[in-house]
């Protein structure tokens, strides 16, 4: 490889691997059996500027929330304020989790304070910080519901899940050992009360519900829904994915929900994705607090302590949860306060409705709150998404929920400015006017062109060596 190739990306936008730029052979000595070692190892031999520029170029080829809007409906990717990262990086926050209660009083105090905040926000009486993600929070909540029924000597085998629910709802219920009963949506996109009446009964352990739902629609019959589920002896579970539409305005506990999980990455601006760590705290009403995971945190006359609830479902994650993620969530809540959180929900709803007004695609359901689902009509939603990349924005979620044909599920979140929303609307509308051949071949202005997504998911390249072997 010549000097120019070693320094710069080629015409196709390919950035050579460090090992492809320059290598040196290093002798290896290790106190291990011969069959487990090599005599020598080839390692990149580059200067610090070369390495720094390599990773900077790679970062410039990627798209993230620091680059532009990320309107993934339901998944709610939004900008994370940097001040929370600064707090998590403080030396005082670097606490080993296996220390004694008395030596981590500040840590336990923050857990207790965050539990109090989340309980107040959700209308819950007890909160655990253990689950490491929203899906793990779902499973924890379902296991709490299962333990509650078993403690009462009530053997229930079914959980009801709307057809528009997140796929993790179905998976969480099945992983906990329940049969899943799918609930069809009504013509207005909300829960059909007649269908619900037919679905629930003596086998119903819980109904898992998101409110507003995945179409951005508020379940106006939520009190009737809660009464129906409770009259059947079941519990009402709240999927916290869309809580940012309700902050400071309505609380799941007041609607009749018994257990809920909070997606701190969606609602309280902690990092989302990237392999973790994450956090998915779970809140419960008073009747279920004895079933929370152990250990839990409580205040004493002299400080805070860890304890095991009387009928605990056990441990679902190490220690009390992913500490630094929870530091960021607590900091975000404290920085905004009551007024700021209420303003957050107002802007989330305003931004979604403003953007929807500018988009030329049909939006079959409304009125909506924080997100909307448009239909690409005769165009393929996946092609629309690929083409939007060429306009410098990340596309919405596509093909889901399936009750909307060629769905474009869009949530701008509260963090975007009007200028950014106009940019998004322009991308939607430019693609809406383009011919099929143009969008079918997109993207053509990005570092990576269209890939076979099914093949990539089923047979990923987990190392550069496998990629090099195929080349």
Do 118 and 191 fall into the same domain? Answer: yes
pLDDT band, very low/low/confident/very high, at 4 (cuts 50, 70, 90): very low
Q: pLDDT tens for residues 80-91?
A: 999 999 999 999
Do 267 and 378 fall into the same domain? Answer: no
Q: Does residue 296 lie in a domain region?
A: yes
396: region left, alpha or beta (phi > 0 left; psi from -120 to 50 alpha): beta
Three-class SS of residue 262? strand
Q: pLDDT tens for residues 38-89?
A: 888 888 899 999 999 999 999 888 888 888 999 999 888 889 999 999 999 9
In this structure, of 91-105, 322-336, 419-433, the range with the lowest mean pLDDT score is 91-105
Q: Which of 334, 355, 379 is the last residue of a domain?
A: 334
Do 292 and 326 fall into the same domain? Answer: yes
* Residue written as token pair 């250990």: 295
Structural domain for 326, as ranges? 82-334
In this structure, of 2-11, 82-91, 118-127, the range with the lowest mean pLDDT score is 2-11
pLDDT band, very low/low/confident/very high, at 2 (cuts 50, 70, 90): very low
Backbone angles phi, psi at 237, to 5 degrees: -105, 135
Angle between helices 418-432 and 323-358 (to 10 degrees): 60
Do 40 and 164 fall into the same domain? Answer: no
For residues 413-437, one letter each, b for 16 or more C-beta atoms within 10 angstroms of the residue's C-beta and e for the rest, the string is: bbbbeeebbebbbebbeebbebeee
Instruction: Identify whether the C-beta of residue 93 lies closer than 8 Å to the C-beta of residue 417.
Output: no
Q: Does residue 236 lie in a domain region?
A: yes
Q: pLDDT tens for residues 132-167?
A: 999 999 999 999 999 999 999 999 999 999 999 999
- pLDDT value of residue 274: 67
Angle between helices 381-389 and 418-432 (to 10 degrees): 120
Query: Residue 10 above 60 pLDDT?
Result: no
pTM (two decimals): 0.91
Q: Does residue 421 lie in a domain region?
A: yes
Q: pLDDT tens for residues 371-402?
A: 999 999 999 999 999 999 999 999 999 999 99
Q: Does residue 246 lie in a domain region?
A: yes
Do 116 and 163 fall into the same domain? Answer: yes
Please report, for the domain that includes residue 90, its CATH number. Answer: 3.40.640.10
Q: pLDDT tens for residues 105-114?
A: 999 999 999 9
199 vs 18, more confident: 199
Do 291 and 143 fall into the same domain? Answer: yes
Query: Residue 322 above 60 pLDDT?
Result: yes
Q: Does residue 69 lie in a domain region?
A: no
Across 318-419, the runs of DSSP E, i.e. the strands, are 372-375, 397-398, 407-410
pLDDT band, very low/low/confident/very high, at 8 (cuts 50, 70, 90): very low
Total count of domains within the chain: 3
Do 231 and 320 fall into the same domain? Answer: yes
Percent of the chain scoring above 90 in pLDDT: 77
Query: Residue 37 above 50 pLDDT?
Result: yes
Do 265 and 128 fall into the same domain? Answer: yes
Do 49 and 117 fall into the same domain? Answer: no
Three-class SS of residue 198? helix
Name all contacts of 378-385 with Cβ < 8 Å and 24+ positions apart: 379/406, 379/431, 379/432, 379/436, 379/439, 380/406, 380/439, 380/440, 381/406, 381/407, 381/408, 383/436, 383/439, 383/440, 383/442, 384/408, 384/431, 384/432, 384/439
Please report, for the domain that includes residue 409, its CATH number. Answer: 3.90.1150.10
């Amino acid at each position: 490889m010549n000097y120019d190739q070693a320094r710069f990306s080629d015409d196709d936008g390919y950035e050579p691997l460090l090992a492809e730029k320059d290598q040196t052979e290093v002798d290896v000595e290790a106190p291990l059996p011969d069959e487990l070692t090599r005599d020598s190892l080839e390692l990149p031999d580059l200067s610090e500027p070369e390495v720094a520029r390599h990773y900077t170029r790679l970062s410039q080829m990627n798209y993230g929330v620091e680059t532009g809007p990320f309107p993934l409906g339901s998944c709610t990717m939004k900008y994370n304020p940097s001040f929370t990262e600064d707090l998590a990086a403080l030396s005082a926050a670097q606490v080993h989790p296996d220390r004694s209660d008395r030596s981590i009083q500040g840590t336990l105090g923050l857990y207790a304070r965050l539990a109090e905040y989340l309980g107040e926000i959700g209308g819950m009486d007890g909160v655990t910080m253990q689950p490491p993600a929203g899906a793990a929070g779902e499973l924890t909540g379902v296991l709490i519901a299962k333990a509650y029924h078993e403690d009462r000597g009530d053997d229930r085998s079914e959980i009801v899940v709307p057809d528009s629910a997140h796929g993790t709802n179905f998976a969480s219920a099945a992983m906990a050992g329940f049969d899943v009963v799918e609930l069809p949506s009504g013509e207005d996109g909300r829960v059909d009360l007649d269908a619900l009446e037919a679905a629930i009964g003596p086998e119903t352990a819980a109904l898992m519900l998101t409110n507003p739902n995945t179409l951005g629609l508020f379940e106006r019959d939520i009190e009737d829904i809660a009464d129906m589920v409770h009259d059947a002896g079941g519990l009402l579970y709240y999927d916290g994915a869309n809580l940012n539409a309700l902050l400071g305005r309505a609380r799941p506990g007041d609607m009749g929900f018994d257990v809920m999980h909070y997606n701190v990455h969606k609602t309280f601006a902690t990092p989302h994705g990237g392999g973790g760590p994450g956090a998915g705290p779970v809140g419960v009403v008073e009747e279920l607090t004895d079933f929370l995971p152990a250990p839990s945190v409580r205040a004493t006359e002299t400080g805070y302590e860890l304890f095991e609830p009387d009928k605990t479902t056990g441990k679902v994650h190490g220690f009390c949860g992913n500490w630094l993620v929870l530091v960021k969530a607590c900091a975000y809540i404290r920085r905004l306060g009551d007024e700021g959180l209420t303003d957050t929900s107002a802007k989330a709803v305003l931004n979604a409705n403003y953007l929807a007004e500018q988009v030329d695609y049909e939006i079959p359901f409304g009125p909506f709150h924080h997100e909307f689902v448009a239909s690409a009509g005769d165009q393929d939603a996946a092609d629309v998404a690929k083409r939007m990349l060429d306009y410098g924005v990340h596309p919405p979620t596509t093909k889901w929920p399936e009750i909307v044909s060629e769905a474009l599920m869009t949530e701008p979140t509260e963090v975007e400015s009007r200028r950014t929303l106009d940019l998004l609307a322009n991308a939607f509308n430019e693609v809406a006017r383009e011919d099929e051949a143009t969008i079918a071949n997109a993207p053509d202005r990005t570092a990576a062109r269209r890939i076979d997504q099914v093949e990539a998911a089923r047979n990923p390249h987990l190392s550069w060596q496998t990629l090099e072997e195929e080349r």
